[in-house]
């Protein structure tokens, strides 16, 4: 018998952590899938491969990663919270401009596994239920619009461009360019301190995708070493040229 290092419960077989605390303080090794402590990025076997210190916490991590698993998760949660705060501003100011005189309700996507499928495999961040009784006389029923939202930090405003993720290089799998099933791509530059979004645009994804396939659009191809993503950079001017912008709101909105 032993005692759990986390909660003090009695453990069998001399284990230092009980089953419950092990589940709460462990994760799947991103290399082999074995369960390992949150104190480490990889399991014991994978950890003995070529490693380098995480740029944030300095713990050993695999050589082709910039950050360890835990710091990467923390960064992901920070980015999600940033996007959620920007969405609240856009929902109040921008979406009513796209759909004037309409009742707009953003649906809660439940359960979590459905939300994960829509996000990771379809590129859908939001689903807006839009009710406009004047479209067709008779029954009033909401029209649902699937949306990909991409809010950049205000420091990138000078670029005035959207990014479309093309490939996940760490897993060698396609990203939203190939898997996207959304209708509208909403982009803006968010000032988190002031709670203001600048230069909002709503882009028709079918129009943009058609122009990409037809090779009639100019873009830059780049790679992000931190997120392990390659992506296309398309300027707002180029989006206007091909007629992909369905609505834009220059200036600041809060």
Question: Which pTM value belongs to this model?
Answer: 0.75
The pLDDT of residue 101 is 85
The pLDDT of residue 84 is 94
Q: Taking CA 245 as the corner, what is the angle to CA 243 and CA 95, rounded to the nearest 5 degrees?
A: 155
Query: Within a 10 A sphere around the Cβ of 34, how many other Cβ atoms?
Result: 13
**3-state secondary structure at position 63:** coil
Whether the CB-CB separation of 93 and 197 falls below 8 Å is answered with yes
207: left (phi over 0), alpha (psi -120 to 50) or beta: alpha
The pLDDT of residue 61 is 72
The pLDDT of residue 22 is 67
Q: For residue 60, which of 45, 41, 73, 44 has the smallest C-alpha distance?
A: 41
Whole-angstrom Cα distance, residue 60 to residue 120? 28
Q: What is the pLDDT along the chain (254 residues), one digit of tens a residue?
A: 677 777 777 777 667 777 777 677 777 776 676 777 776 666 766 665 656 777 788 777 765 667 777 787 888 889 999 999 999 999 999 999 999 888 999 988 766 667 777 877 888 999 999 987 665 666 678 889 999 999 999 999 998 999 999 998 877 889 999 999 999 999 999 999 999 999 999 999 999 999 999 999 999 999 987 778 899 999 999 999 999 999 999 888 77
């Amino acid at each position: 018998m032993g005692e759990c290092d986390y909660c003090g419960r009695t453990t069998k077989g001399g284990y230092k952590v009980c089953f419950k605390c092990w589940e709460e303080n462990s994760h799947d090794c991103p290399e082999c899938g074995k369960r390992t402590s949150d104190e480490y990025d990889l399991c014991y076997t994978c950890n003995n491969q070529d490693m380098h210190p995480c740029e944030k916490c300095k713990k050993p991590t695999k050589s082709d990663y910039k950050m360890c698993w835990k710091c990467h998760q923390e960064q992901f949660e920070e980015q999600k919270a940033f996007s959620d705060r920007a969405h609240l501003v856009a929902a109040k100011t921008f979406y009513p401009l796209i759909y004037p005189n309409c009742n707009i309700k953003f649906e809660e996507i439940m359960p979590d596994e459905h939300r994960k499928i829509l996000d990771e495999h379809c590129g859908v961040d939001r689903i807006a239920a839009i009710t406009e009784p004047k479209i067709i006389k008779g029954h009033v029923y909401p029209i649902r619009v699937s949306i990909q939202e991409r809010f950049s930090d205000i420091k990138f405003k000078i670029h005035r461009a959207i990014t479309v993720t093309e490939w996940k290089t760490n897993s060698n799998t396609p990203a939203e360019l190939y898997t996207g099933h959304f209708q509208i791509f909403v982009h803006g530059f968010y000032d988190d301190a002031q709670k203001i979004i600048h230069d909002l645009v709503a882009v028709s994804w079918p129009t943009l995708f058609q122009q990409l396939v037809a090779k009639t659009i100019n873009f830059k191809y780049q790679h992000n070493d931190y997120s392990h993503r390659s992506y296309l950079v398309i300027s707002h001017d180029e989006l206007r040229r091909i007629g992909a912008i369905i609505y834009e709101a220059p200036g600041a909105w809060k």
